[in-house]
């Protein structure tokens, strides 16, 4: 049962819709106050009454029933206590019946969401800085799918620009096919770094690079062949990382894909009299909107990111007819997205309001910052492998006889990397620490995975009961069930706020409450069969909810640790 909806349907406040009441109902910070609470402060102005009086009047207008066992008015809050037996039965039945579908819905039926994420640069390393966009976008992709949306994952490849001319220049001067073929993206990165080092004393190399890029644009066969090869090597290398992180895409249409789609954008801007010349460049003046001008064409006639991004947005709307198009890109690009969203709006695109910049903070290692040009980058593959290796060492120490150590270490190590990037609010900067993400006792994926292994062990020994009855409930059992019941709402909120951290925090909260229940309530040696079966069912429901939460984040659950 959706208890919030049940309560909202019973409450009548003049001038306030049932949906608004539903949104206002929250979980009280202290469970002794009630299971749900309606703060009445927001109604005070409209009703011209104090919140205390509103809560008291509402309390007097409502009656308890089989679902609501108690109603109270305290300091402007209307508090509700739910019939515990019915609530526990309904929650566990829902989880154990729906299984892998628990928490899902069809709210997105008939709607399409495009998600632009990861967006790696061809021939540049897939480094730690790409972690957030990749796993955040991957989690949102799964969450929206889970809620019934048609979700389109787009890897908007960085495959356009002078850097490819630099690579061709470096390859022709210092590279050889065999070394690059074997070394892949790392060999390409070494050439890129060397180019910048050599160009400091040979500035003419920069002119050569621009000339090579122009040849790519003009379709020169040799340059096009090298460009396609660099792209092929990059995608082959990064696919290994995508496979480890359980990341998938429906489109790899990168910047170069839109090279022939920019002129219609420029023509349309001219039709709307939006283009203005400034120092030889073509811009859209956004001063009256408090923004710097959006540069469409540089003085030499070449396009910029904004031009290509507008072409991409128009293509996506035409191709997918999206209801939302999300751009999972770091907050440093806030102005860029505000600018080109505004330009599309000025062009009369009503759907510009459906474009959303999902901004996130930066990820760095404790060692410090990185620079691709200078060569001090930290490859994401190395970070993941180090986590897997460290996890393997910890597992051997904790459980020398563990079977499938390599498989478990993979799930633990990869999970630690993903969870480390998703647990905090997305806008926060993250300093990645191997020790913190692999802490068995902290708010980590390892803690949740270990909790699941504990639940698996209990169920292996006690079995999964076919039926169960509700015994006299303990506080620990009620608190755990209350936490489990919030999962559908948590998933919906994660989608609404583009915030997978809600799901990650749900998992930690449930794991903490399960462990308190596990230590305080006997399961296999419970006082009677009824209590034992109920606790086994509760353990099974907890395991299911945690598996569902981690599946949305892209993290595997080992059965033993």
Segment 94-122 shows an average pLDDT of 96
Using the predicted structure, report yes or no on whether residue 340 has a pLDDT greater than 90: yes
Are 134 and 239 members of one domain? Answer: yes
Q: What percent of the chain has pLDDT over 90?
A: 73
Cα–Cα distance measured from residue 427 to residue 399, given in angstroms and rounded to the nearest whole number: 37
Contact assessment for residue 163 and residue 120, using Cβ atoms and an 8 Å cutoff = no
Are 157 and 258 members of one domain? Answer: yes
Using the predicted structure, report yes or no on whether residue 440 has a pLDDT greater than 90: no
Using the predicted structure, report yes or no on whether residue 25 has a pLDDT greater than 80: yes
Determine the length of the chain. 561
Residue 177: inside a domain, yes or no?
yes
State both tokens at 499.
């915030």
Q: Given 325, 340, 365, which residue is the final one in a domain?
A: 365
- Range among 159-168, 195-204, 383-392, 508-517 with highest mean pLDDT value: 508-517
Contact assessment for residue 444 and residue 437, using Cβ atoms and an 8 Å cutoff = yes
Are 64 and 213 members of one domain? Answer: no
Are 144 and 62 members of one domain? Answer: no
Concatenated DSSP letters for 297-354? Answer: E-TTS-B-HHHHHHHHHHHHHHHH--SEEEEEEEGGGHHHHHHHHHHHHHTT-GGGGG
Cα–Cα distance measured from residue 274 to residue 133, given in angstroms and rounded to the nearest whole number: 32
Helix (H, G, I), strand (E, B) or coil at 273: coil
Using the predicted structure, report yes or no on whether residue 367 has a pLDDT greater than 70: no
Using the predicted structure, report yes or no on whether residue 180 has a pLDDT greater than 60: yes
Is pTM beyond 0.85? Reply is yes
Residue 410: inside a domain, yes or no?
no
77: CATH? 3.30.1360.70
More confident residue, 205 or 66: 205
Are 138 and 282 members of one domain? Answer: yes
Write out pLDDT tens, residues 48-62: 999 999 999 999 999
Segment 303-319 shows an average pLDDT of 92
Cα–Cα distance measured from residue 457 to residue 459, given in angstroms and rounded to the nearest whole number: 5
Q: Given 365, 391, 425, which residue is the final one in a domain?
A: 365
State both tokens at 285.
């003046």
Segment 78-97 shows an average pLDDT of 94
Helix (H, G, I), strand (E, B) or coil at 142: helix
- Of 194, 70, 192, 100, residue with least CA distance to 550: 100
- Range among 113-127, 143-157, 190-204, 429-443 with highest mean pLDDT value: 143-157
546: CATH? 1.10.730.10
Are 360 and 435 members of one domain? Answer: no
Mean pLDDT of the chain: 92
Are 228 and 320 members of one domain? Answer: yes
Cα–Cα distance measured from residue 165 to residue 185, given in angstroms and rounded to the nearest whole number: 16
Residue carrying structure tokens 């409502």? 62
96 Cβ contact list (under 8 Å, min separation 6)? 537, 540, 541, 544
pLDDT value for 325: 98
Q: Given 61, 82, 103, which residue is the final one in a domain?
A: 82
Residue 478: inside a domain, yes or no?
yes
Cα–Cα distance measured from residue 76 to residue 91, given in angstroms and rounded to the nearest whole number: 29
Are 26 and 141 members of one domain? Answer: no
Residue 475: inside a domain, yes or no?
yes
Using the predicted structure, report yes or no on whether residue 548 has a pLDDT greater than 80: yes
Cα–Cα distance measured from residue 360 to residue 133, given in angstroms and rounded to the nearest whole number: 8
Residue 402: inside a domain, yes or no?
no
Are 424 and 543 members of one domain? Answer: yes
Q: Is 23 exposed, middle or buried (0-12, 13-18, 19+ CB in 10 A)?
A: exposed
Residue 103: inside a domain, yes or no?
no
221 Cβ contact list (under 8 Å, min separation 6)? none
- Of 57, 19, 79, 14, residue with least CA distance to 5: 19
pLDDT value for 509: 97
Contact assessment for residue 341 and residue 310, using Cβ atoms and an 8 Å cutoff = no
Are 74 and 116 members of one domain? Answer: no
pLDDT value for 334: 95
- Range among 129-133, 177-181, 254-258, 458-462 with highest mean pLDDT value: 458-462
Are 234 and 351 members of one domain? Answer: yes
Number of domains in the chain: 3
Are 63 and 140 members of one domain? Answer: no
State both tokens at 6.
């049940």
pLDDT bracket for residue 366 (50, 70, 90): low
pLDDT bracket for residue 376 (50, 70, 90): low
pLDDT bracket for residue 374 (50, 70, 90): low
Using the predicted structure, report yes or no on whether residue 371 has a pLDDT greater than 70: no
Residues forming beta bridges with residue 80, ordered by sequence position: 36, 71
Using the predicted structure, report yes or no on whether residue 530 has a pLDDT greater than 70: yes
Contact assessment for residue 147 and residue 108, using Cβ atoms and an 8 Å cutoff = yes
374 Cβ contact list (under 8 Å, min separation 6)? 193, 196
Residue 384: inside a domain, yes or no?
no
Residue carrying structure tokens 């029933």? 65
Residues forming beta bridges with residue 432, ordered by sequence position: 365
229: CATH? 3.40.50.620
pLDDT value for 217: 78
Print the domain residue range for 450.
Answer: 415-553
Cα–Cα distance measured from residue 507 to residue 501, given in angstroms and rounded to the nearest whole number: 10
Write out pLDDT tens, residues 243-284: 999 999 999 998 889 988 989 999 999 999 999 999 899 999
Segment 29-48 shows an average pLDDT of 88
Residue 383: inside a domain, yes or no?
no
């Amino acid at each position: 049962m959706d208890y919030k909806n049940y309560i909202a349907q019973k409450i009548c406040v003049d001038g306030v819709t049932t949906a608004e009441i539903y949104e206002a109902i929250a979980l009280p910070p202290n469970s002794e106050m009630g299971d749900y609470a309606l703060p009445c402060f927001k109604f005070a102005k409209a009703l011209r009454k104090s919140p205390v009086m509103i809560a008291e009047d509402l309390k007097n207008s409502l009656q308890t029933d089989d679902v609501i066992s108690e109603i109270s008015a305290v300091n402007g809050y209307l508090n509700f206590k739910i019939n515990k037996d019915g609530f526990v039965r309904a929650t566990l039945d829902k989880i154990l019946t729906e299984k892998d579908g628990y928490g899902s819905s069809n709210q997105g039926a008939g709607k399409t969401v495009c998600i632009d994420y990861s967006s790696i640069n061809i021939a540049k390393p897939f480094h730690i800085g790409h972690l957030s966009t990749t796993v955040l976008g991957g989690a949102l992709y799964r969450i929206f799918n889970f809620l019934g949306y048609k979700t389109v994952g787009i890897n908007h490849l960085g495959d356009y620009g002078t850097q490819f001319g630099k690579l061709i220049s470096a390859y022709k001067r210092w590279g050889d096919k065999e070394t690059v073929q074997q070394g892949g993206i790392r060999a390409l990165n070494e050439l890129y770094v060397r180019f910048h080092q050599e160009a400091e004393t040979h500035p003419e190399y920069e002119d050569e690079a621009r000339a090579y890029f122009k040849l790519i644009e003009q379709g020169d066969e040799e340059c096009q062949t090298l460009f396609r090869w660099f792209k092929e090597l990059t995608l082959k290398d990064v696919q290994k990382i995508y496979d480890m992180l359980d990341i998938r895409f429906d489109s790899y249409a990168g910047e170069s894909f839109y090279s022939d789609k920019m002129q219609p954008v420029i023509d349309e801007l001219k039709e709307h009299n939006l283009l203005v010349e400034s120092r030889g460049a073509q811009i859209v003046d956004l001063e009256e909107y408090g923004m710097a001008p959006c540069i469409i064409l540089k003085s030499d006639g070449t396009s910029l990111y904004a031009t290509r991004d507008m072409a991409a947005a128009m293509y996506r709307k035409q191709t997918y007819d999206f209801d939302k198009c999300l751009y999972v890109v770091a907050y440093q690009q806030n102005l860029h997205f505000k600018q080109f969203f505004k330009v599309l709006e000025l062009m009369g695109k009503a759907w510009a309001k459906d474009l959303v910049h999902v901004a996130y903070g930066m990820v760095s290692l404790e060692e410090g910052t990185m620079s691709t040009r200078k060569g001090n980058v930290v490859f994401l593959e190395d970070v993941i492998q180090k986590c897997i290796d460290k996890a393997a060492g910890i597992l051997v120490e904790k459980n020398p006889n563990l079977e499938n150590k390599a498989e478990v270490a993979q799930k633990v190590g990869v999970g630690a990397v993903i969870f480390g990037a998703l647990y905090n609010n997305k806008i926060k900067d993250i300093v990645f620490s191997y020790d913190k993400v692999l802490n068995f006792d902290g708010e980590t994926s390892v803690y949740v995975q270990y909790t699941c292994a504990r639940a698996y062990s209990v169920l292996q020994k006690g079995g999964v009961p076919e039926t169960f009855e509700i015994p006299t409930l303990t506080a620990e059992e009620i608190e755990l069930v209350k936490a489990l019941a919030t999962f559908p709402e948590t998933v919906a909120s994660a989608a609404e706020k583009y915030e997978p951290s809600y799901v990650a925090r749900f998992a930690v909260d449930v794991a903490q409450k399960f462990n308190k229940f596990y230590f305080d309530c006997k399961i296999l040696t419970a006082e009677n069969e009824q209590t034992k079966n109920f606790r086994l069912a509760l353990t099974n429901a907890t395991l299911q909810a945690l598996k569902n939460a981690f599946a949305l984040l892209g993290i595997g659950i080992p059965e033993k640790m």
